[in-house]
Amino acid sequence: MRTEELAAMARGVAARGSGGRAVLGLAGPPGAGKSTLAVALVARLRERYGPRAAAYVPLDGFHLSNAQLDRLGLAARKGSPPTFDVHGYAALLRRLADEPEHDVYVPDFDRTLDEPVAARHVVRPGTRLVVTEGNYLACELPGWSGARECLDELWYVDADPAERRRRLVERQLAGGRTERAARDWVRTNDMPNAGIVEASRDAPWVTLSFVWSGHDQ
């Protein structure tokens, strides 16, 4: 699907949202382009309808810190379901839906630091649509249904598996890993995580499933 068509559909989600603010979720496997699409949708809507038309809220800000991953013995599984503060993420989504009159600050993940950072984004009062994305939003896993309950619609975003793998290797190379280490990480961590997500593609709460190449941005 093309970005322009998806932006029009996202505008429709905003129009149908109850209480003055809607939340659109994007699920899908690692490397599918969810964050890129979320940013593109928000940019299109703001360009067309003004700065309060939409805001971006990434799940990645709820990665556990490296110190917590070490404490839990999960450093080698970073990005898997238990390495996120899903309850904190769900609480933020509920606040966004319930408090449209306040500035709400949103964390993000810094790939240079390889750590979450606080308050990189802000959702301003009067924002009509929040676009959030996260691998496991469609999964029937502990905690994730609580986040899903805050969504007005949930879309599943995918890309060609070979393209996803290429993007994931490039991401690890950009983070400083060697070619071999990058490919090993993708094989032993990202692809198993993708398998968990792919099982949720046909979940009954997914309202739209599509492949997005990003070439029409």
Whichever domain contains 145, its CATH number is 3.40.50.300
Domain count, the chain: 1
197 lies in some domain: yes
89 lies in some domain: yes
Q: What share of the chain is helix, strand, coil (3-state, %, to 5)?
A: 45, 20, 35
Under the banding of pLDDT at 50, 70 and 90, the label for residue 16 is: confident
17 lies in some domain: yes
Q: Tokens 């792919």 appear where? A: 198
pLDDT of residue 20: 75
pLDDT of 217 > 60? The answer is no
23 lies in some domain: yes
Structure tokens at 103: 């500035």
Distance CA 134, CA 60 (A): 7
* Average of per-residue pLDDT across 74-96: 96
217 lies in some domain: no
Closest CA to 135 of 214, 213, 190, 197: 197
Contact (Cβ atoms closer than 8 angstroms) between residue 33 and residue 135:
no
Task: Quote the domain boundaries for residue 141.
Answer: 3-211
> Which helix (H) or strand (E) is 67 found in, with range?
helix 66-72
Q: Angle, nearest 10°, between helix axes 3-16 and 34-49?
A: 70
pTM: 0.95
131 lies in some domain: yes
> Count of CB atoms within 10 A of residue 47's CB?
11
Structure tokens at 149: 């309950």
CA distances from 62 to 14, 21, 66, 129 (A): 24, 22, 12, 20
216 lies in some domain: no
Distance CA 93, CA 88 (A): 9
Percent of the chain with pLDDT over 90: 91
Structure tokens at 217: 């941005």
Backbone angles phi, psi at 26, to 5 degrees: -120, 115
pLDDT of residue 215: 64
